[in-house]
Each structure stands twice: as C-alpha cells, then as structure tokens.
Amino acid sequence: MYQYKRRNRQRDDQHLDRWLISYADYMTLMFALFVVLYAMALAREGSLEQLTRRLGDLFHAQHTVVAEPNPSDGIMQQASDDMLYGHGLKPEGGPDLVDGRSELVNFNKRHQGSALSNLEQEFNEALLELINSGFADIQRDEDWLVLTLSSSLLFASGSAAPSANLRAIIPSVAKVLASSDNYIRVRGYTDSSPINNEIFSSNWELSSARAAEVLEQMILQGVRPDLLAVEAFGANFPLSPNDTAQGRAENRRVDIAVSKWGKPEGTDEPLSDGQATDDNESSEPLPDYDEVQVIELPSGGIRITTRRESSEQGEPQP
C-alpha cells in the first residue's frame, strides 16, 4: 500500500503544463520578429517617399535651373574630339547673314503662278490635323506662302534620314503643289545646340541635308524639279529663344516656301532679276578662250578663267 501511494504521489508531482513555457517563448519570439519586420517596412516606405521626393525635386530643377559648366568637362570633350578627329575640326564661322529670304534670286518676276490664297486653303484642308496639333503652321504675306513643319516630326535627333512621318506627310504637300508652277524654296533650320558627329560637323550641314531630303521626297511625289531650290540657314533666324527646350524644338524646322511668282510655260531656265529677253541679242553661249586668261579685278585681285564674258562678245578672240 505504501509503495502504491508513493508511486501515485510521484506521478502527481510531475508538471504536465510545462509546455506552456516553451509555447510562450515561441510566441514572444514570433511577436518580436513581426515587430522588427513591421519597423523595417515603415523605414523602407519612408526612404521610398524621401527618394521619390528628391527625384521629383531633381527633375523639376532641370527645367528651372541651368547648371554652371564644369571646366573639366570642356577639357575632356576637347581631348576626345582631338583623339577622334585630330585638329581638322574648325568652328562654325562666316560673315554675318542678311535675311534675304523674301528676295527673289534668279526668278522670273513677269509670270505669277497659282494664287497663294488658293494654295493656303488647300494646305489647310490637307494638313488640318497637323496644324491643329501644332506640328505644322502656315503663314502668308504678299510674296510668299510658308508651310512650316517641325523637324521632330520628320527626322530623328541629329539625323537627316527620312522618317515614316515624313513619307506620310510629303504626299499631301506634293498633291497641293504638283499642279502649280510657282517657284518653291525648301529651307532647313536647326537650334543653336552644336552638333559634331560622324555624319554632320555643323548645323549648316544638318539643316542643308534635311532640306535636301524633303526636296527629294517632293520630287518623288510629282513636284517639278525645275521649280525647287534648297536653302540652309543652320541656327540662324530662330522663331523662339534657344534657352528653353520648347524654344529649341520650335527652331528645329523645315519651311516649304512657295513664291507668288511662277515659271512661264516653255521657259527652260528662270530669268534673273532685270534680265531682258531681247530678240536681237544672241542667246547662244560665247565660245571659251583657248588659253587660260588672267584678268585683273578692280579691287586689285586677279581671276584666272577660260570663260568669255558676255561683255566681250564683240571683241575678237585672241
């Protein structure tokens, strides 16, 4: 009997609820873990908001603040240009340009082509969507009808390769001009940002190449080649200041300028200003000299040529 009671007492003394201690420790550790994870999530969210705010301030500052140039950047750029091209690069230069876009050179001013008002109306109908979206503009005065097309619509940046937009727009332009005999100038313009890549060394070349590409596309669409001419103005005659991105975008353009003067039917070559068509005057070219002639100019210089001037028609050939 004693042994039975002792055995039962020992069994009663065992702590069967000891597992609660381990369970409580486990729950405490899990609670601590989730607290740490929650704290890390809050910290990450705060860092993300701060990063987003800083990036927003940075992009906003790019539109409002012009950073001062770093002198070392110019040195590195110059060194890079020297390594690639040597010292053969020359800066853009030349005499000051005079705005002669309104002047007619080598045009016959005796025959007027299609009415500019009619052409303007046809352009407005054919290019209505482009005009409303701001990619095209039409201006007309007494002598010229000028259709302005944004270069960003026609070409990629720094390129004169025709885009799909160019090939889609020019047929509508050519359809208006194909039936007219007005003289047409295709004028290329750029912004003031310098360009110097493996294809174009200056904005002059870029503006000329873009205008020539538009001219070629117009010829392919049926515009008479004898009415066309290319003019390149580079960064000159901007429409807006070049100190903003919007202004530079407006200055990168191609103008298709249509003159009120046209080419008379049956005329092989346009007549220059004031050139007379006297029937008594011979239209055949004068024969060239057999030998090279050295001609002294009034300014003190000389000209070496074999071509006989028209003023020498009556002089005997030496």
If asked whether residues 177 and 255 sit together in one domain, one would say: yes
pLDDT one-digit tens code per residue, 71-86: 444 444 554 454 444 4
If asked whether residues 177 and 248 sit together in one domain, one would say: yes
Average pLDDT over residues 29-46: 79
If asked whether residues 39 and 175 sit together in one domain, one would say: no
If asked whether residues 250 and 291 sit together in one domain, one would say: no
Q: What is the pLDDT of residue 100?
A: 53
Check pLDDT > 50 for residue 9. yes
If asked whether residues 237 and 186 sit together in one domain, one would say: yes
If asked whether residues 250 and 158 sit together in one domain, one would say: yes
* Least confident stretch, 73-77, 150-154, 237-241: 73-77
Q: How far apart are CA 64 and CA 243, in angstroms?
A: 11
If asked whether residues 318 and 248 sit together in one domain, one would say: no
If asked whether residues 56 and 159 sit together in one domain, one would say: no
If asked whether residues 240 and 131 sit together in one domain, one would say: yes
The domain total for the chain is 3
If asked whether residues 195 and 317 sit together in one domain, one would say: no
% of the chain residues with pLDDT over 70? 57
pLDDT one-digit tens code per residue, 254-293: 999 999 999 887 666 544 444 433 444 444 556 665 555 6
If asked whether residues 203 and 256 sit together in one domain, one would say: yes
Burial of 138 (0-12, 13-18, 19+ CB in 10 A): middle
Residue 244, number of CB atoms within 10 A of its CB: 11
Q: What is the pLDDT of residue 314?
A: 46
pLDDT one-digit tens code per residue, 11-37: 555 667 777 788 888 889 898 888 888
Within a domain: residue 27?
yes
If asked whether residues 46 and 166 sit together in one domain, one would say: no
Within a domain: residue 268?
no
Q: What is the CATH number of the domain that holds 142?
A: 3.30.1330.60
Check pLDDT > 90 for residue 63. no
Within a domain: residue 224?
yes
- Report yes or no: 184 and 113 within 8 Å, Cβ to Cβ: no
Within a domain: residue 42?
yes
Q: What is the pLDDT of residue 14?
A: 62
The boundaries of the domain holding residue 158 are 116-262
Within a domain: residue 109?
no
Please tell me what DSSP assigns to residue 310.
Answer: G
Burial of 143 (0-12, 13-18, 19+ CB in 10 A): middle
